């Protein structure tokens, strides 16, 4: 009988771990979407009055997520970017012919 209770307890712990992991993944996905939205908005606003836009990532925890966003088609198809330092990026609009 104790073995059955133990297996139920282990299964409940596994289920909780899976739920926590999916919650963390969902939070990271939402953070990525917010960062992407902010980046697109800032680039659209800044390019109305400038040829190039500098963006510095102050929070080092966001840097890997930001770099992943640079491969997103909505960013990479519209803008050329250059990494000047570890946390400083320069964006330019792509010239369409």
Q: Which of 91, 39, 81 is nearest to 62 (CA)?
A: 39
Could you give the number of structural domains in the chain? 1
Q: What is the pLDDT of residues 25-69, one digit of tens each?
A: 888 888 888 989 999 999 999 888 888 999 999 989 889 989 989
Q: What is the pTM of this model?
A: 0.68
Domain carrying residue 56: 2-93
CA distance 43 to 56: 13
């Amino acid at each position: 009988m104790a073995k059955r209770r133990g297996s139920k307890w282990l299964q409940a712990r596994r289920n909780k771990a899976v739920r926590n992991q999916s919650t963390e993944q969902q939070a990271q996905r939402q953070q990525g979407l917010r960062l992407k939205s902010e980046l697109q908005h800032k680039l659209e606003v800044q390019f109305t009055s400038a040829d190039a836009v500098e963006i510095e990532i102050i929070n080092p925890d966001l840097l890997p997520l930001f770099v992943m966003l640079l491969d997103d088609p909505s960013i990479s198809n519209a803008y050329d970017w250059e990494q000047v330092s570890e946390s400083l990026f320069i964006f330019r609009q792509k010239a369409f012919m």
